[in-house]
Amino acid sequence: MRRGIAAAVLATAIAVSASACGSSGSTATGSTANAGPVTITWWDTSDATNEAPTYKALVAQFEQANPSVKVNYVSVPFADAQTKFTTAAAAGKGAPDVMRSDVGWLPGFAQQGYLVPLDGTPAAAEQSSFESQLIQQATYQGKLYGVPEVTDTLALMYNKSLFAKAGITSAPTTWDQLKADSALVKQKAGVDGFAFNPSSYYAMPFLYGEGTDMVDVAGKKLEFNSAAAIKGITTLKDLVTSPGVAKLDTTANGYANIMDAFGSGKVASIIQGPWETTNVFKGASFADKSNLGLAAVPAGSAGKAGAPIGGHNLIAYAGSDAAHQAAAEKFIAFMTSAASQITIATKNATLPTRTDAYTAAVTANPGIAGFQAVLKAGVPRPAISQYSSLYGPFGTELTKILSGQESVQAGLSNTTVQAQKLLPDYAAQ
């Protein structure tokens, strides 16, 4: 399978190809003299209502600028995309030439041989313009298998006016400071100072703050039972049971309840990602957008703040023929260019993945500007295919720990037992 095609070869390949991509199921027809444009299929997993219109408009721009390539745009629900792509790629039929993939899916797809390495191809020609940790997260076993399209991380969101009522002039930088500030907000402003979403993803900063993660890939160890992890989750449990912190909401509507409380000014701070900034600005407390404060998540005893990096990469299917892969690479380069990312950011309020896309027009959005400042605290996910699956057992036990159903030690031990089923070659602490 070819790995890179220079511009001249790309043009030749597109000109002589009449075959459709594997996802369309069609085959070449007619002679090369009568060949039409190459048609590639792109599965877009963005929100079909709020985000997809921007991507559809960019597809039209690409086709206008590249008449030898047509794009079959397919909106695929995010919840179905991973399984749907795996099924199609395994069968060798029906997979798209390009897909918008969650960063957590890439290692598994690459491990199974479903993706084309993009090193040295037109898709990765401007690799140096991207945030380094995002390129790291798009790499598997030393090869680049995706180009970052949008990114996200977690930050401390806070209500500046409520903090000011409590006499707090700056965001807390440690969990102990957040605990103290929450009690002060309750006392002075009469509302809860902090609310926590009891999900494993939102608990990751408490592990990173102690210098650990769910796994140690280099040592092939599960870290849930490590002293650092126990300390981090103990810190979290102490925080959510402290004065001034909202009662833990483990109901099915818990997430929405927390967001409503924050938007209406009933809670002064939360840990949240940029995907919620648009909704936050609709809240009564943030009609004046400048009232939203954004800061890096507080640090743990290791002295360093850390938050998980999420987002999406554009990936190319290894089962497509050379001409379609060449066209796919050209399309990926266009969709991840600075110009396209500026358009996506301004229209969809998402975070660009390359530094040159943070223009004045983009950072005029205070949510984007605020999250750009905390991206440096982002921690890439380890490049193992099972990593994202660990959030499940960790989340189940975390809820029990935080609601007092089991101790921190017991809950993390139970998590380890379940995690070993996913990573049987990893040793427990």
Over range 166-176, report the average pLDDT.
97
Q: Give me the chain's average pLDDT, please.
A: 92
pLDDT tens across 367-376, in order? 999 999 999 9
Confidence (pLDDT) at 327: 98
Inter-residue contact 309 to 388 (CB < 8 Å): no
Q: What domains are defined for the chain?
A: 7-152+310-379 (3.40.190.10), 155-308+384-422 (3.40.190.10)
Inter-residue contact 46 to 101 (CB < 8 Å): no
Confidence (pLDDT) at 16: 30
Confidence (pLDDT) at 429: 80
pLDDT tens across 72-124, in order? 999 999 999 999 999 999 999 999 999 999 999 999 999 999 999 999 999 99
Confidence (pLDDT) at 35: 62
**Which one-letter DSSP state was computed for residue 310?**
E
The model's confidence at residue 18, banded by pLDDT at 50, 70 and 90, is very low
The DSSP element (H or E) to which 144 belongs, if any, is: strand 143-144
pLDDT tens across 191-246, in order? 999 999 999 999 999 999 999 999 999 999 999 999 999 999 999 999 999 999 99
Strand order in the sheet with 292-295: 269-272, 155-159, 292-295
Q: What contacts 318, CB < 8 A, 6 or more positions away?
A: 1, 89, 113, 114, 115, 116
Task: List, in sequence order, every beta strand (DSSP E) within 153-192.
Answer: 155-159
Say whether pLDDT at 254 is over 50: yes
d(CA 235, CA 374): 22
**Which one-letter DSSP state was computed for residue 429?**
-
Q: What contacts 335, CB < 8 A, 6 or more positions away?
A: 55, 58, 62, 149, 314
| Cβ density class 4-25: b for 16+ within 10 Å, e for less | bbeeeebeebbeebbbbbbbbe
Task: List, in sequence order, every beta strand (DSSP E) within 265-396.
Answer: 269-272, 292-295, 307-308, 310-316, 378-379
Confidence (pLDDT) at 36: 73
Q: Please state, for a pLDDT cut of 90, what percent of the chain lies above it.
A: 91
pLDDT tens across 417-428, in order? 999 999 999 999
Say whether pLDDT at 6 is over 80: no
pLDDT tens across 340-350, in order? 999 999 999 99
pLDDT tens across 262-280, in order? 999 999 999 999 999 999 9
At 309, which amino acid appears?
Answer: I
Confidence (pLDDT) at 324: 98
Q: What contacts 366, CB < 8 A, 6 or more positions away?
A: 289, 290, 292, 294
Task: Give the closest residue to 102 by CA, choosing from 22, 46, 42, 53.
Answer: 46
Higher pLDDT, 39 or 11: 39
d(CA 414, CA 410): 6
